[in-house]
Chain A
Amino acid sequence: MADLKKMKGELQSKIALREKSDKPEGRVQVKVAMATCGIASGAKEVMEYMVDEMDKRNIDAIVTQTGCMGYCYAEPTIEVNLPGHEPLVFGYVDIKKADEIIEKYIRNQELVEGIIPMNYQTIEKNK
Chain B
Amino acid sequence: MKDLALHIMDIAQNSITAGAKTIRVEVEEDTAANVFLIRVEDDGCGMSPREVEKATDPYYTSRTTRKVGLGIPLFRQHAEQAGGYLQIRSSRGKGTAVEAMFRHDHIDRQELGDMGGVVTLLMGGNPEIRFCYRHVRDKKEFLIDTREIGEAIEGVPLSEPGVIRYVREMIREQLKEIQAI
Contact = CB atoms under 8 A, between A and B. Distances in A.
Interface of A: 1, 3-5, 7-8, 10-12, 14-15, 32, 34-37, 39-40, 44, 47-48, 51-52, 54-55, 62-65, 67-70, 72
A41 to B, nearest CB: 10
5 contacts: A5-B152, A11-B162, A34-B9, A52-B165, A70-B66
Contact of A54 (B13, B69, B161): B161
Give the residue among A32, A54, A67 with the most B Cβ atoms within 10 A: A67
A11 B156 contact: yes
Contact of A36 (B70, B153, B164): B70
B124 interface: yes
Contact of B9 (A44, A69, A70, A72): A44
A51 B1 contact: no
A44 B117 contact: yes
Contacts of A3: 166
Given A11-B153, A40-B6, A44-B121, A68 B65 contact: yes
Nearest to B17: A67
A64 B159 contact: yes
Interface of B: 1, 6, 9-10, 13, 16-17, 63, 65-66, 69-71, 74, 114, 117-118, 121-122, 124-126, 148-149, 152-157, 159-167
Given A47-B121, A51-B161, A65 B126 contact: yes
Give the residue among A4, A52, A62, A63 with the most B Cβ atoms within 10 A: A4
B121 A48 contact: yes
